[in-house]
């Protein structure tokens, strides 16, 4: 799995490529922790290249929700494939984690909070 | 001639989480060859991955010399049977594990329990048995195949 971080104005974009599973989730956890520590308040996770996700990967995202709320940080996922969305859906997380169609929608959503 | 209902497919990997991808590829190839849709196939991959990851991390502590084996067979009624075999001294029975609610898991900042929650939601049944030195976790799911028109 690869993770690539870029900034677009106030938005911090983390693009994930490959499989997010028990062996690779630590990498996303480190990147996300750094972003929150660096006071990035608008974190957008680009899932276009995310081929697969299992519970450790989902856990990385959900375990940061509390920190984000305390820091006034929003995490928004976008460009999630149908099969990855299906896994979020089974857990009922599609109602708890903002998931948007594309980057523009994710930015608009973050702006509106 | 042997038909595919009598076939059993299997793979053995050492207990390192980087081998999860190898297990998923194996399961995916079998399900593809049996005409299972990518959506159904992906959910099964998640369930098998979660069972294997649990064993690798919590029963075998990623000991490279320990092996787990995944077996797949299809019954004639469209039921797929997946078995995960390992030889940890204390086997873990996922069928009796009751995961917390997703809200509690989020509140506790942990992914623990989420994996088994997925397995229970995805698969139709979970059965565990200890046979000699072996732990066998058997999960089953009936998967509808797309209708194929015969010309």
- Answer yes or no: is pLDDT of B105 > 90: no
CB pairs under 8 A between A and B: 82
Confirm or reject contact between B28 and chain A (CB < 8 A): no
What pLDDT, on the 0 to 100 scale, is given for residue B148?
A: 66
Q: Do B121 and A90 touch (CB under 8 A)?
A: yes
User: Across the interface, which of B45, B105, B118 has its CB nearest the CB of A62?
Assistant: B105
- Answer yes or no: is pLDDT of A79 > 90: yes
- Answer yes or no: is pLDDT of B4 > 90: no
What pLDDT, on the 0 to 100 scale, is given for residue B3?
A: 64
Question: Hey, of B18, B20, B94, B101, which one would you mutate to test binding to chain A, going by the most A CBs within 10 A of its CB?
Answer: B20
Q: Do A66 and B107 touch (CB under 8 A)?
A: yes
Q: Per-residue pLDDT averaged across B23-46, rounded?
A: 96
Helix H or strand E segment including B137: strand B134-142
Residue of B nearest to A60 (CA): B111
Torsion of CA B73, B49, A45, B32, to 10 degrees: -20
- Answer yes or no: is pLDDT of B104 > 90: no
Q: Which residues of B touch A83 (CB under 8 A)?
A: 38-39, 42
Q: Do B42 and A60 touch (CB under 8 A)?
A: no
Give the list of residues 6+ apart from residue B148 with CB closer than 8 angstroms, or none: B35
What pLDDT, on the 0 to 100 scale, is given for residue B149?
A: 64
- Answer yes or no: is pLDDT of B42 > 70: yes
* Second CATH level (architecture) for the domain A2-108: 2-Layer Sandwich (3.30)
What pLDDT, on the 0 to 100 scale, is given for residue B97?
A: 85
Q: Per-residue pLDDT averaged across A107-112, rounded?
A: 92
- Answer yes or no: is pLDDT of B1 > 60: no
- Answer yes or no: is pLDDT of B109 > 80: no
Helix H or strand E segment including A81: none
Q: Which DSSP string do the residues of B58-100 spell out, in sequence order?
A: IISTT-TT-EEEEEEEE-TTSEEEEEEEE--SS---GGG--PP
Q: Which residues of B touch A90 (CB under 8 A)?
A: 43, 118, 121-122
Neighbours of B109 (CB within 10 A): 14
Domain definitions of chain B by residue range = 4-142
Residue scoring higher pLDDT (B101 or A47): A47
**By 3-state DSSP, what share of chain B in percent is helix, strand and coil, each rounded to 5?**
40, 25, 35
Q: Do B57 and A91 touch (CB under 8 A)?
A: no
What pLDDT, on the 0 to 100 scale, is given for residue A99?
A: 97
Q: Do A21 and B17 touch (CB under 8 A)?
A: yes
The candidate with the shortest Cα–Cα distance to B105, out of B124, B118, B122, is: B118
SS3 state of residue B132: coil
What pLDDT, on the 0 to 100 scale, is given for residue B76?
A: 83
**Fold for domain B4-142?**
Heat Shock Protein 90 (3.30.565)
SS3 state of residue B105: helix
Tell me how close the Cα of B53 comes to any Cα of chain A, in angstroms.
Answer: 7
pLDDT digits (tens, 9 = 90+) for A33-74: 999 999 999 999 999 999 999 999 999 999 988 888 888 999
In angstroms, the Cα distances linking A72 to A9, A94, B60 are: 17, 21, 40
Burial class (CB in 10 A: 0-12, 13-18, 19+), B96: exposed
Helix H or strand E segment including B11: strand B8-14
Give the list of residues 6+ apart from residue A84 with CB closer than 8 angstroms, or none: A47, A50, A51, A52, A53
Mean pLDDT over the full length of chain B = 91
Backbone angles phi, psi at B11, to 5 degrees: -140, 145
pTM of the model: 0.93
Torsion sign over Cα A40, A48, B21, A3: negative
Length of chain B: 151
> What is the share, in percent, of chain A residues with pLDDT greater than 70?
99
In angstroms, the Cα distances linking A17 to A7, A9, A52, B73, B146 are: 17, 22, 9, 32, 30
Report ipTM (2 d.p.). 0.93
C-alpha–C-alpha distance, residues B27 and A101, integer Å: 30
Confirm or reject contact between B24 and chain A (CB < 8 A): yes
């Amino acid at each position: 799995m690869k993770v690539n971080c870029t900034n677009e104005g106030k938005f911090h974009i983390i693009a994930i490529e490959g499989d997010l599973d028990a062996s690779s989730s630590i990498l996303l956890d480190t990147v996300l922790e750094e972003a929150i520590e660096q006071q990035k308040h608008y974190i957008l996770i680009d899932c276009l290249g995310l081929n697969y996700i299992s519970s450790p990967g989902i856990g990385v995202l959900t375990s940061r929700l509390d920190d984000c709320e305390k820091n006034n940080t929003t995490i928004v996922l976008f460009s999630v494939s149908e099969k990855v969305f299906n896994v979020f859906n089974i857990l009922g997380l599609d109602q708890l984690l903002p998931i948007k169609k594309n980057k523009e929608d994710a930015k608009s959503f973050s702006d509106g909070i | 001639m042997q038909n595919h209902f009598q076939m059993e497919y299997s793979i053995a990997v050492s207990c390192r989480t980087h081998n999860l991808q190898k297990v998923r590829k194996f399961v995916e190839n079998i399900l593809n060859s049996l005409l299972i849709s990518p959506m159904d196939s992906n959910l099964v991959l998640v369930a098998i991955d979660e069972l294997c990851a649990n064993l690798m991390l919590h029963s075998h502590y990623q000991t490279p010399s320990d092996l787990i084996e995944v077996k797949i067979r299809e019954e004639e009624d469209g039921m797929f049977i997946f078995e995960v075999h390992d030889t940890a001294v204390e086997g873990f029975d996922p069928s009796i594990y009751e995961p917390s609610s997703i809200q509690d898991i989020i509140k506790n900042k942990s992914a623990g329990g989420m994996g088994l929650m997925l397995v229970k939601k995805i698969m139709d049944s979970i059965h565990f048995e200890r046979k000699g030195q072996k732990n066998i976790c058997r999960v089953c799911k009936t998967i509808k195949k797309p209708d194929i028109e015969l010309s």
